[in-house]
Amino acid sequence: MSDMAKTVIIEEHGGPETLKLVEREVGEPGPGEVRIRHAACGLNFIDCYQRSGLYPMTLPHALGMEAAGTIEAVGEGVVHLAPGDRAAYSSAPPGAYCEARVMPAAQVCKLPDAISFEEGAAMMLKGLTVQYLFHRTTPLKAGDTVLFHAAAGGVGLIACQWAKSEGIRLIGTAGSDAKCALALEHGADACINYATEDWAAKVRELTDGKGVDVVMDSVGKDTFMGSLDSLKPLGMMISFGNASGPVDNFNLGILGQKGSLKLTRPTLFTHIADHSACQEMAGMLFGKVVAGDVKIRIDQRFPLEDVAEAHRTLEARRTTGQTILTLG
Ligand code: NDP
């Protein structure tokens, strides 16, 4: 087997044209590491932030945070994986856009046989994110109402199904009527086209003027203030992304004026830094998928060579559900 692997790197921050396919030596795993041969890689919006420099990296750097494949070798001290195991992960450091790599083992999880490699590659980063949003960020119970932006996206369609499976009322937003229809099909109780409607007013209307318990906002700049306006007093704003740009210069006093609101800005990588927490979260995610409560909908597939086109499509809001990069 060749020790060289096609790998996508960037040498400078910028647009999709900076993505470059090179051949790299894979090497052998050291203590606490595994060598994994990928069957497919996941595409995530964080990859665009890292490429553009919104989240700066030391350069040159490989890109990609999620993939699935077969373990080829394990380093000293790795006991939860063995050569031949099917596995999937969402993990730092970036470098998942490749045929094979050596990486830390702690966040690599054994993939149940009932879940395909493509599903595994598409679901780890987005599914673990939904797990921590619904179970590790603020207490949520059946009957609570959540406002979830970009509900027809990768994280969004998983969130719609997750909420449904736990009796949580999810009001989605999305950028077109077709996307809203998709969110409704996947379990959203309502979905507002925020390109055409006064969505914050509509949220009030849908909650009898009360507002929602929690907002999960990954759109950032364009929705942040409207999201705060959609909350009940004492409600929780979870700002977890910047698809429209980062939220700058926020005056904390606004949280008091709008009803003692709470605000948090979490990242998945804090939640999965601990090996046992990561494996436990993955166990819950796999359980939902195997039970059929959450279906992984892969709407776009791009060969690894076409990664720049994949980034363009994601950033132009032309995707729904999950997107993967295929190999071979
Ligand atoms: P999506 O598939 O959801 O794609 C992003 C969507 O955001 C678009 O399809 C679009 O949907 C919406 N959007 C709104 N405004 C813009 C804009 N100006 N430009 C581009 N898109 C816009 O991506 P992912 O599922 O990969 O990620 C969803 C979000 O969650 C991202 O912001 C990501 O960074 C964040 N995230 C955060 C994590 C964390 O732990 N903090 C972990 C995982 C994801 P529409 O057309 O319907 O508006």
Average pLDDT, the chain: 97
Distance in angstroms (rounded) separating the CA atoms of residues 14 and 111: 34
- Closest residue by CA, ligand 1 atom 32: 241
Q: What is the pLDDT of residues 108-166, one digit of tens each?
A: 999 999 999 999 999 999 999 999 999 999 999 999 999 999 999 999 999 999 999 99
Task: Enter the ipTM.
Answer: 0.99
Give the torsion sign (CA, 176, 180, 182, 183): positive
Which of 41, 43, 44, 45 most suits a substitution to test ligand 1, by most atoms within 8 Å of the C-beta?
A: 45
Q: What is the pLDDT of residues 199-247, one digit of tens each?
A: 999 999 999 999 999 999 999 999 999 999 999 999 999 999 999 999 9
Residue 266 CA: nearest ligand 1 atom is: 41
**Do the beta carbons of residue 136 and residue 216 sit within 8 Å?**
no
Q: Is the preceding peptide bond at 266 cis, omega within 30 degrees of 0? A: no
117 Cα to the center of ligand 1, angstroms: 23
List the domain boundaries for the chain. Answer: 4-126+275-326, 138-265
Q: Is the pLDDT of residue 2 over 70?
A: no
Can you give the pTM of this predicted structure?
A: 0.98
Q: Is the pLDDT of residue 261 over 70?
A: yes
Q: Is the pLDDT of residue 268 over 80?
A: yes
Q: What is the pLDDT of residues 152-200, one digit of tens each?
A: 999 999 999 999 999 999 999 999 999 999 999 999 999 999 999 999 9
Distance in angstroms (rounded) separating the CA atoms of residues 122 and 315: 17
Where do runs of H (alpha helix) occur along the chain? 45-52, 117-135, 154-165, 177-185, 199-206, 224-229, 253-257, 268-271, 275-290, 307-315
- How confident is residue 1, by pLDDT bands cut at 50, 70 and 90? low
Length reported for the chain? 328
Backbone angles phi, psi at 30, to 5 degrees: -90, -170
Q: Is the preceding peptide bond at 139 cis, omega within 30 degrees of 0? A: no
Any ligand 1 atom below 6 A from CB of 152: yes
As a whole-number percent, the residues of the chain with pLDDT over 90 amount to 98
Top CATH class, 138-265: alpha beta
109 Cα to the center of ligand 1, angstroms: 25
- Closest residue by CA, ligand 1 atom 29: 218
Any ligand 1 atom below 6 A from CB of 53: no
- Domain 4-126+275-326: what homologous superfamily? Medium-chain alcohol dehydrogenases, catalytic domain (3.90.180.10)
Any ligand 1 atom below 6 A from CB of 313: no
